[in-house]
Every structure is written in structure tokens, then in C-alpha cells.
Chains A and B, each alone.
Chain A
Amino acid sequence: MAFDSLSDRLQQALRKVTGRGTLTETDIETMMREVRLSLLEADVNYKVVKDFTNEVKAKALGERVLKSITPGQQVVKIVFEELKRVMGDEAEGLRFKPQGTTIFMLVGLNGTGKTTHAGKLALYCRRKYNKNPLLVAADVYRPAAIDQLVTIGKQLSIPTFEMGTNYTPEEIVKKAIDYAKENKHDLVIIDTAGRFHVNEELMAELRRLKEIAQPDEILLTVDAMTGQDAVNVSQSFHEQLNVTGVILTKLDGDTRGGAALSIRRVTGVPIKFMGLGEKLDQLEVFHPERMASRILGMGDVLTLLEKAQDAINEEEAELMAKKFKNATFDYNDFLKQIKQIRRLGSIKGLLSLIPGLGSQLKNIEIDENQFNHIVAIINSMTEEERHNPDIINASRKQRIARGSGRDISEVNRLTKQFEEMRQMRRKMMNMSPKEMERMMNNLNRPGGQPSTPVSYSKGKGKNKGRRAPWF
């Protein structure tokens, strides 16, 4: 995916913060520095980066991030919302004339992919809008540019209008439009020569072509690998021609594509398409929303966050934390937690939303019924037993097992693990940060067995011995 590198960097920046307790303002400052550097490395324009991080910071300070118990996730959400907002909130479509011949004109620097995208666009409009397009070869400067467009036209069985290189682009475009009207082409796509935005002569030529063709869309092709200069280029083309849309090309590489952010922010011109390969059907509508998710590489995590926000009431969570600390956490609380988690959907589905985990989960089978069994066991306890887990003795266990229809060994396992969990949580709540770190290191050591209950797999069939985390 095109924006992976940017997301890696942001995730790394945010990882330092996620999973930690509350944040200080200095923490946010540190994080913003990371965000800023990663955006600069992604070729987002320096000035855009400045504004962007300031906005994110202001929001982060404003939205009670400091007090939130999930501050890192809050910030991720803010960054995402901002990215989305900068790139425009909705995908914008193409403008066609209701009647008569619609005219598109492609402009841009040399080598950004105008000719290829003229072909892609023609194919796209024929497929999607049932148009009968005509390609127009108005690049009389670059050697063999006309041949290239003619070849592309042939591959698509779309006619190409060309007059060789002995006529001016103005003459060619004029004739081409007449030809299109005579031959019932309802769409004309003009391929112009690549040029620098500072080349006054050639820019004047484009303005004349615009005058003649009166295009419905002037589409600027921009190479997604463009650096800081993307802003100058798009601004300059826009000022002189009033560009109606941008096609971001070569997004199938590993460029971080920060140009997308910069262009939209600085010119306000919507990015309409993205080019994703050399084949002529590799053109996709640009979706700011999707692109913002891709930039973060955590679109799915955001879905998860939203779900969690809906399902888990922050106050409740805080109360729960307090209960852990005071060791008053009981089966009723446990039941509540299970229900909250269940509200999020299937466990496997949830885990697969976590970046990097998805592929590892493919071969693990998670028995979703385990939750139902646990719920059944707890439901078979009396109110007193739930509130006061210590009183559950052997005979009570037998009754619970009969009541829930589960094996006595399952009841034993649950009570044992509940007790371990309670002790563990209590310990963690009262730990100093250093002790916490030491414990986490122990857990991560290969072979180190966490004493929290993670072994709810029933150990039958081919998954025997494979333990699925259920909490």
C-alpha cells in the first residue's frame, strides 16, 4: 500500500504514548514532533505540516486527551480526522455537459503521466458513463508522444485524433472538436505537452487552448513522488488555468505521497483520481476518507476505536479500574466486562483489525462459544457467590457445574483463573512503573508463561495445545 511508510512512522510515534497512563503536555509536544518529522519525510509541504501539527495539537489539548484513559488512541483519532479534513471530506466526481460534447484537458509537468492517463480516463468514462470518447494528441513537442497516444487508443479501440507535428496545438484542438461533433463523440480528452509551470510561453499556449476548447474539466496530473515543489507546481497551474481536479499518479509505488495533502490544502482543488499502475484500467476514484486511513495505516483500528467508544462507557471503565485496585472486582464486574467485549463483535474479527496481527491469526481458531460457557457458569452462581468469590467451595462448584451444564473441571478452571486474574490486576494497579516494566519483560520473554488466564482452548481436534488469548 502506498502510504505504509507514513503509517509506520506515525504508529511508531504513537506507540510510545499508547498503552501508557495519562499524558502530560510535554508528551503531546514530543508526539507532535514525531508527527511533524514523519510528515516531512512523507514530502508533505513544510508549511502544511506546520499548520497541520498545530491544529492537531490544539485539538489534542482541547479534547480532554490529557485526562482520557486512552490518550494515544484519542490522538490517533484526531490525526486521522485532520488528515481526512485536509484532503477534502468527500470524493468528487467528474463534470459532464448534460448535452453535447464534454471536453477534458490534461495538463502537467513532463513525465507525470498525462498521455497514459488520457487513455485511462477514456476507458474509465466509456465503462462507467457509457461515453464515446475521442483522444486528441496535442503534444507536438515530445518525440513520439503522438505515437504513444495512438498506440494507447488502439489498445482500447478508442479513436485518436492527430495531425502530426506540423500544426500548432491550437489548430489541432480546434479541428478535433469539430471532428468530435461531426462523429458523435460525446467526450473529448485532450492530451497536452508536459511543461514547467514557469515556462511562460508554454503556459500561454495552455491558456489559449483553454480558450478554444472551453473544457469542462482541466485535470492536473501530479506524480505522487513529487517533493516540496508539488505546492509551487499545483498553485501555479491553478492560478493560470483554474484547474478543476488533480490526478495523482504512480501511487502504486512506495511513495508516501504527502503531495496529496499539500496540494489539496494549498490550492483547494480536489484530487479526483489516483493512478495505480501502468495498465490502462488501473485508475481509481480518489477517496479522501480511505486515503486518510491509508496514510495512518490504521483505518481498521479506527473502526475498532469507534466500536469501543460506543460499547465502553468511560465512567464504567474507570469504576472498573478502581474496583481492581481495591480488590472489590467480582463476578458481576467480570460478567459486565465480558458483555462489553461481546458487544464489539466476534473476537477473531476484533483481533484481525489490529495491524500486524491479522495475518498471524489466519490459522488460529477461536472458540467463540467459550464466552457463552463462562457466562453460563457465572449465571449459575448465586448473587452472594458472585459478589463474594471466596465462599465458592467444592460443593458449591458442583452445584454450579450442574446448573450451567458444564463440566466441573471447567468451573474449577474459571474460579482458579479468576482468582489469578484478580491478584494480578491488584498487583499491577499498585506497581511502580519500573516493576511494571520488569513484569512486561518477563511476559515477553520466550517461554515465559503469563499467569493470567490465557488458556481457554478446549484442546480438542487439530488445535490441541494452541492457546487463544481471550482477554
Chain B
Amino acid sequence: MGLFNSIKSIFSKNKNQLTNEEQLIVEKAEKYKKGMEKTRSSMMGKLKALFESYDRVNDDLFNELEEIFIMADIGVNTVLELMDEIKSDVRIRNVANMKEFQSIIIDKIFSIYVKDEIVDTNLNLNENGLTVILFVGVNGVGKTTSIGKIAYKLQNEGKKVMLAAGDTFRAGAIDQLKIWADRVGCPCVTKAPGSDPASVMYEAIQLAKAQNIDVLLCDTAGRLQTKVNLMKELEKVHRVISREVPGAPHETLLVIDATTGQNGMNQARAFTEATNVTGIVLTKLDGTAKGGIVLAIRNELGIPIKFVTMGEKITDLEYFDIEQYIYGLFSDMFV
């Protein structure tokens, strides 16, 4: 019950009683809360109504809870697992009161994500030399936009950033990345449409080394994970990067759209096989979709979420934080 109480204690404190650290948590949480308002209102609306209509824990309540989880795209397997754990906890602790039940739910989601590990959302940056981050994903999930936002964030953190326009296939993709580079105010390496993306990476790495760049962000063309040739192309891009910079890419981030359903699992599997994915960027969390598939991906494949985006502005990107995420989903319950 640790998490529930610790968050609750922070949020129930008076603002000026908070330590600096706690203040930061609150600020960040408020941002999540705002961005996920749509998500939360639809999910919380349901949860609240659910708890109001029951005065004790019974099978109907479990069934409705299961429905809510499924509707959040968490995925059948993970939901069944989650439900089993919640049920056994309720039985063991002989839970009758609804407040206690709510905290069990939240703690179970939390532990499914954390899995008794310290989950590090910080990027693995190369302290002495160039860091290369490769972005992969299916079409239309928001890779290019995410790169723009992450570049902006890293630059604000004092890093020298460069972009590499590795999507040489989709019409307009190179221009799109160039526009983001202009907004951020960082260089962008491009080649003609149709060029070999691996060659773009090669050139970008040489330039980045020469210009003492800290972080190189590499865009790639969206591709469905079933396209064998395109996945091979991605393997080649990955290979070239690791050949040119030892230990690179330091992060390979899979971008997943929050509206994605169970196919997200197939995406995570296939892209990991091709490029050893180290983290996820969950995009478009400002709609009504809950992006629950990332919980399933974490649960089944162990890949953590690094960033979430929830808006079209350059600042609409946050480091992922599971406590905040759950808070965003359930914050009405803390009131």
C-alpha cells in the first residue's frame, strides 16, 4: 500500500509545507494531470461511478473493473494477471471497504509496471563523447514530432543536439524534420529523398563527431513490423551506427501511439528483435486513448517507457514516471 499512501501524503500536504523535491513532484504531476485530463475524465468517470455504485467487493465489481482495464487497452493477458492478483489480495487481506480496495488496485498496477526493479527513465547518455539515439516505429505514430520535442528538451538541458533525417522514403518527411530543427535551433543532416538511410546515419555521425555534438537523434521511416525487407534495412542502420560509434546507439526508442491496441505488443517484439529497443516513447496521450498497451509491453517484455507526449506544442513532452502516470489515471481518487 506504500505508493498510494506516499502519493496521497504528498498531495494532501499544504503547498508551503513541501520540500523542494516534493514541490517538483507536484508540479510535474499537475502537468500530467492537465495533459491527461481527457484520458482521466473518461477512465475516472467510470471508476468513480463504479465505486459509488458498490458498497462492498463482489464479483460484479470485479467484472466491471476488468472491463475498465480492457477498455484501456491493457491487453487480455495482463488484465487477467492483474485481476488474479487483485482478487487474491482482496481474499488474503479480507478487504471489505472500498477505500482499501482502491489502493490495492493502484498498487497492483504499480507493481506490474515496476516488477521489483528500479525503473530508470533517464536516458543512457554517453558521458565522454557522442550519444546516438535511434527512433523506430510504425507509420504515423509521431516519430519525427517526438524527435523535435526531445531535441528541444535536451538542448534546454544544455546539450549540443543534432538531427539526422533518416526517413528518406515518406514524402515530406525530410522537410518536416528540418522545420523541427529550425524551431529547436539545431543542425539537421539530410540527404536526397530515396537515399540509403544507413548512409545518412554514417554522414551524420562523421559530422557530429567533427562538430563535437553531444547527442545525435536519428529519425527513420515508419514501417510496419511485418515488412521483412524494411526491418532488414533498419538492422543495417543499427549496424552502421554501432560500427561508427562503439556502444551506440545508446538508446533505441520505439515510438508507440497511445491509440494503438494489442498490435503494440507485436511492434515491440519485432522492433526489439531488429534493433534491440531500450525504451518507449508513448505519444498522443492527450486524446481519449489510455495507452494501456505499454503496461502490457512492460509486463511481458520488460521494456520501460521513457517519454510521454501529450500535445502538439514543442514543450508537450515529459520524462515518463509511473507514479505520475497512475496519478494521471486515478487522480480523482486522491481527492
A residues with CB within 8 A of B: 37, 40-43, 45-46, 109-113, 115, 141-149, 151-152, 155, 196-198, 223, 225-230, 232-233, 250, 252-256, 258-259, 278
Is B140 within 8 A of A112, CB to CB? yes
Q: CB-defined interface of B21-43 with A at 8 Å, one 1/0 digit per residue?
A: 00000000000000000100010
CB within 8 Å of A: which B277-335 residues = 284, 286-290, 292-293, 312
Residue contact A225 to B138, C-beta cutoff 8 Å: yes
| CB of B119 closer than 8 Å to a CB of A | no
Beyond contacts A250-B139, A253-B263: 6 other A-B pairs, Cβ-Cβ < 8 A, are A41-B75, A109-B287, A225-B264, A229-B287, A232-B289, A254-B263
Query: Which one of B76, B140, B180 lies within 8 Å of A111 (CB-CB)?
Result: B140
**B interface, CB within 8 angstroms of A:** 38, 42, 67, 70-73, 75-76, 138-142, 169-173, 175-176, 178-180, 224-227, 257, 259-264, 266, 284, 286-290, 292-293, 312
Question: Which residues does chain A contribute within 8 Å of B73, judged by CB atoms?
Answer: 43, 227-229
Contact (Cβ within 8 A) B259 A254 = no
Chain B residues, CB < 8 A from A197 = 287-288
Contact of B139 among A46, A111, A229 (CB under 8 A): A111
* B71 contacts across to A, CB distance below 8 A: 45-46, 228
Separation of A46 and B75 alpha carbons in the complex (Å) = 11
Given contacts A143-B179, A144-B176, contact A259 B139 (CB under 8 A): no
Contact of A254 among B42, B226, B292, B312 (CB under 8 A): B226
Which residues of chain A come closer than 8 Å to B179, judged between CB atoms?
143-144
For A40, the closest partner residue in chain B by CB is B76
Q: Tell me whether A147 and B172 are in contact in the complex, defined as CB-CB below 8 angstroms, given that A112-B140, A229-B289 are known contacts.
A: yes
Chain B residues near A227 (CB-CB < 8 A): 73, 259-262, 264, 289, 292-293
Residues of chain B contacted by A259 (CB below 8 angstroms): 261
Chain A residue nearest in CB terms to B260: A225
Of chain A, the residue at the smallest CB distance from B293 is A227
Q: Which residues of A contact B293 (CB under 8 A)?
A: 227
Q: What are 21 residue pairs bridging A and B, where the CB atoms are less than 8 Å apart in the complex?
A: A42-B262, A43-B261, A111-B139, A141-B312, A144-B175, A146-B172, A148-B170, A198-B38, A223-B140, A223-B257, A225-B261, A227-B73, A227-B262, A228-B71, A229-B259, A229-B289, A233-B288, A250-B224, A254-B225, A255-B261, A255-B263
Closest chain-A Cβ to B281's Cβ sits at a distance in Å of 13
List of A residues within 8 angstroms of B171 by Cβ? 147-149, 151-152, 155
CA distance A430 to B178 in the complex (A): 77
Chain A residues near B266: list those with CB within 8 A: 254-255
A223 to B286, CA, bound (A): 17
Nearest to A198 among chain B residues (CB) is B38
Q: How far is the CA of A115 from the CA of B170 in the complex (A)?
A: 11
- Is there an interface contact between B263 and A256, defined as CB atoms closer than 8 Å? yes
Q: Is the beta-carbon distance between B288 and A232 smaller than 8 angstroms?
A: yes
Q: Complex Cα distance A439/B305, Å?
A: 52
Q: How far is the CA of A223 from the CA of B222 in the complex (A)?
A: 14
B226 adjacent to A253 (CB under 8 Å): yes
Q: Name, among B75, B262, B264, the residue most crowded by chain A CB atoms within 10 Å (CB to CB).
A: B262
Complex contacts, B169 vs chain A, CB 8 Å: 278
List of B residues within 8 angstroms of A256 by Cβ: 262-263
Q: Is there contact, CB below 8 Å, between A43 and B263?
A: yes
Set of chain B residues within 8 Å of A225, measured between Cβ atoms: 138, 257, 260-261, 263-264
Contact A147 B175 (CB under 8 A): yes
Residue of chain A at shortest CB distance from B141 = A111
